[in-house]
Amino acid sequence: MLKKFRELWPSYPGLVDIIPQVVRVDEMSARKNLSIHRRWLEEQVGCKMERFFIIAGRLRPVKDPEFALTPFLEWNSEPLMPTTGASGDNDWFFEPHHHHLVYIGSVEEDTPSIRLFLSSLTSSHVHHVNSVNRECLHSLMLASDGLINCSISEGQSLTNMEAMTLGTAVLARANPGNCDLIRHNETGLIFRSPQELKLCLTRIACDQILRRRLVDSAYKWIRQPAFQPCNQIVKFRYLFSRLCAPNSPSFPSS
């Protein structure tokens, strides 16, 4: 996004920088209570949850929750076969309706599109639960096959960053914020269309070697110094010192 800004406003005289956000994840606690939170989810939706993907975030139009619904239902209605050589064991397959999709997040903007979306959740393999605390969300991320982010626009998604820190696969819709965090086929999978989302779902569900490579790379990437609290402190100190300096050139004069 910084590169795009400089392309659009090359002569902007103010201070322009990126201060990466920082996430705090207690992986040990999330793993310790994973079975408790999985049972809670099963009680909420009324069925066993063995294989599932999650979409996390309060419901509002910019999150575009309906984008993933039809592709998931189409994908989930067909059996799956693992990629040849992907897992070392190609004797198994999934029958149709092999996965569930769980939307986690209370309604934030009660718009007609959100109401229509909620009314369309009629499949026994698609569920919606209201927002949960961070520990529960992190446990469910660990239990899931992956996190789907289908937002129209993102800044720097904390949910993506939390999933990467936990070692959960991320499938993200192409937008500047997501593409700043996720490198396609390196630290996650990027999709631009419903058809590409279906392909990403198949790859993550069937190719365990790919999935492990992605989450390992994402885990290492998100633990760079740039995403650590000490770096954020240094960046903000520098920003405030520039803003408070006499005759600061940080902002253009009126």
- Least reliable range by pLDDT among 89-98, 206-215, 227-236: 89-98
5-39 tens-digit pLDDT? 778 888 887 777 777 787 889 999 999 999 999 99
Overall residue count recorded for the chain in this entry: 254
48-105 tens-digit pLDDT? 999 999 999 999 999 999 999 999 999 999 988 765 444 444 444 678 889 999 999 9
What's the per-residue H, E or C state across 22-39? Answer: CCCCCHHHHHHCHHHHHH
Query: What does the pLDDT read at residue 10?
Result: 82
Q: How confident is the model at residue 46 (pLDDT cuts 50, 70, 90)?
A: very high
Task: Please say if the pLDDT value at position 165 is more than 80.
Answer: yes
Query: What does the pLDDT read at residue 91?
Result: 42
Q: How confident is the model at residue 247 (pLDDT cuts 50, 70, 90)?
A: low
How does the average pLDDT of the chain come out, rounded? Answer: 89
Measured from the Cβ of residue 31, the count of other Cβ atoms closer than 10 Å reads: 14
Q: How confident is the model at residue 248 (pLDDT cuts 50, 70, 90)?
A: low
Query: What does the pLDDT read at residue 92?
Result: 47
> pTM of the full predicted structure?
0.84
What's the per-residue H, E or C state across 130-157? Answer: CCCCHHHHHHHHHHCCEEEECCCCCCCC
Q: Of 50, 147, 143, 70, which is closest to residue 105 (Cα–Cα)? A: 147
> What are the boundaries of each domain within the chain?
25-79+95-225
Query: What does the pLDDT read at residue 254?
Result: 35
Which one of 3.30.450.40, 3.40.50.2000, 3.40.50.10300, 3.20.20.70 gives the CATH number of domain 25-79+95-225? 3.40.50.2000
Query: What does the pLDDT read at residue 57?
Result: 95
Query: What does the pLDDT read at residue 203?
Result: 95
Share of the chain above pLDDT 90, in %: 67
Measured from the Cβ of residue 62, the count of other Cβ atoms closer than 10 Å reads: 11
